[in-house]
A and B are shown apart, each in its own frame.
Chain A
């Protein structure tokens, strides 16, 4: 059984302008010990998807579908059931370390409350573990610095604290939402390195949300590419990097500067902007920006899969893949969609 199995997830937000569909008809699963990277540009629905699974959507947001964590549906849980899992079996770290720690509480207060709550530890024991964890993420003088407030830490150190705080209860799953985006490049590398080391030590599964493909190449086992709330391509990191199938994935890879290409060569940029989530086009969401667009793209694109779990959502055939039912965005297609998933497994 997969550690996390998400089926037919939809996330919508009611706004004064209308309903924004941030995530449509999304399926994915995560195996134990696996690192899954979710990539895509801003607004692709990566973060909102994880927020929905963790029950952290803003109050105007709604999630449908199911997210089975060890067989239990996170989306159908009561607050109490969900709280027993959040911060305990599933930890989450966020994009902006500068504002994600409570500025009115010391690091000690914020760290110890997690284990005191989930593990019912006494304050002294909790403190000792928190100090130890701070050392593990290489905070100097942890014994002293744990008494300080977040504003006395740099951005990179705050993210280390967030990571340490997430790992206190030895979670099975760490969800990291762009953990290094807001940091300096050198600090980014340190944080990535830290996550990789900790994964090896703790053997946990990781979902890494990012738009930094370098980080993905560094640590991901599998990669899921999202565009306008949908998965457009999914596969092993090697397949995605060396043999991308979907035109959007290719566009993403081409837009990364590389040392092995002549420097006078222009960087490739994907033209245009992502579609308006208030009013998604019928057919392929990417067609207006795609070099390969053709008449058939006005219809919902077919989904291709192969036996390795590789998947692409495009009118172009996937190498070695079999065409599955066209995977529309309407709820009526979900039944056939999950049926095809079962056939595959």
Chain B
């Protein structure tokens, strides 16, 4: 009964994904074409013949609608086409190069954020309205308010330049180069998750079923871990879906500052160069990842919350 409910839910959500993706592709396709300039404007003074040849090769001479349907057909086959700017590279290859790096950094950052954030949030909730609660939550507020592009240079300045303990930038799959970007990305998420967890935990601790658990004579540890933690985490889980998707697809700012060849940096380059296929490819890929993670969250949510599990169908 339990399995069936989950499977049905999964199937209905999957079918719902198709129109979402279609809308995403359509809007971003026409939006990028609206932007002034084109992919070959930077190559100065190309003779009109060469330009016409280039455009013919990439089908840019066809009517916009024809291009749109051609693109749709390719996307269905998971082919995002050749990059206009990185000659000899297809967009698929570029994504395959950049995504593992971004996903590693983002995934680790989210993992760190989840554990640190939940730990801090529970700690603060259990010491509600004491000095340690206010201190921790004050720091968390700072963590949310200070932007990445301030934190990252500060970390580099202190730990890499003054301290000399870590490399300032670059990428080579070692922990030394990963540490700073992961921490930079994780900090605001830690702060956000800590605040979310604290509020949620305080609410749960006031509920009648926690009073019942206490009246049963269970030790406080059991009350917190067994009875209170799961409902506390529900809002955190629903935040984690889109947040994870955003982190693993690469932070434009952080990858820039630490010179990391991730997906985010390709996205910026693509947008600046009017590299239509690259931008589109990254956007669609990003969209799929977001949808995927929301889908995972929906399933997790249903799995965690027995009351949703049986009321599925919406």
Contacts and interface: CB of A to CB of B under 8 A. Distances in A.
Interface of A: 54-56, 58-59, 79-80, 82-88, 91-92, 94, 96, 99-105, 113-114, 117-118, 149, 151-152, 162, 165
Nearest to B306: A149
- Which of B214, B215, B218, B220 has the most C-beta atoms of chain A within 10 angstroms of its own C-beta? B215
Contact of A103 (B206, B209, B215, B222): B209
B208 A84 contact: no
Interface of B: 128, 206-209, 211-220, 222, 226-227, 230-231, 304-307, 310
Contact of B211 (A56, A80, A104): A56
A61 B134 CA distance: 22
Contacts of A162: 212
A85 B214 CA distance: 11
B222 to A, nearest CB: 7
10 contacts: A86-B216, A87-B216, A87-B218, A94-B211, A102-B227, A103-B231, A103-B305, A105-B226, A151-B307, A162-B212
B222 A117 contact: yes
Contacts of B226: 105, 113
A99 B216 contact: no
Contacts of B231: 103-104
- Which of A100, A118, A165 has the most C-beta atoms of chain B within 10 angstroms of its own C-beta? A100
Given A94-B211, A94-B212, A162-B212, A103 B306 contact: yes
A88 B219 CA distance: 13
Given A105-B227, A113-B222, A113-B226, A94 B216 contact: no
A101 B209 contact: yes
A79 B222 CA distance: 13
B209 A100 contact: yes
Contacts of A59: 128
Contacts of A104: 230-231, 304-306
Contacts of A87: 215-218
A100 B305 CA distance: 17
A100 B211 contact: yes
Given A87-B217, A101-B209, 12 more contacts: A79-B220, A83-B219, A87-B215, A100-B208, A100-B211, A101-B212, A105-B226, A113-B226, A114-B217, A118-B217, A151-B306, A151-B307
Where chain B touches its partner, the secondary structure class is helix
Contacts of A151: 306-307, 310
B212 A83 contact: no
Q: Which 7 A-B pairs have the closest CB atoms?
A: A87-B217, A87-B216, A86-B217, A102-B209, A99-B208, A149-B306, A83-B217
Contacts of A105: 226-227
B213 A149 contact: no
- Which of B128, B213, B216, B220 has the most C-beta atoms of chain A within 10 angstroms of its own C-beta? B216
B209 A149 contact: no
Contacts of B305: 103-104
Contacts of A102: 209, 212-213, 227
A96 B208 contact: yes
A94 B217 contact: no
Nearest to B228: A102
Contacts of B213: 102
Contacts of B222: 113, 117
Contact of B218 (A54, A58, A91, A113): A113
A104 B307 CA distance: 8
A88 B215 contact: no
A86 B306 contact: no
- Which of B128, B217, B227, B230 has the most C-beta atoms of chain A within 10 angstroms of its own C-beta? B217
B217 A117 contact: yes
A52 B196 CA distance: 31
A117 to B, nearest CB: 6
A101 B216 CA distance: 12
Given A83-B217, A117-B217, A103 B211 contact: no
Given A96-B208, A103-B306, A86 B215 contact: yes
B307 A103 contact: yes
Nearest to A96: B208
A288 to B, nearest CB: 34
B217 A84 contact: yes
B232 to A, nearest CB: 10
Given A102-B209, A149-B306, A149-B307, A54 B215 contact: yes
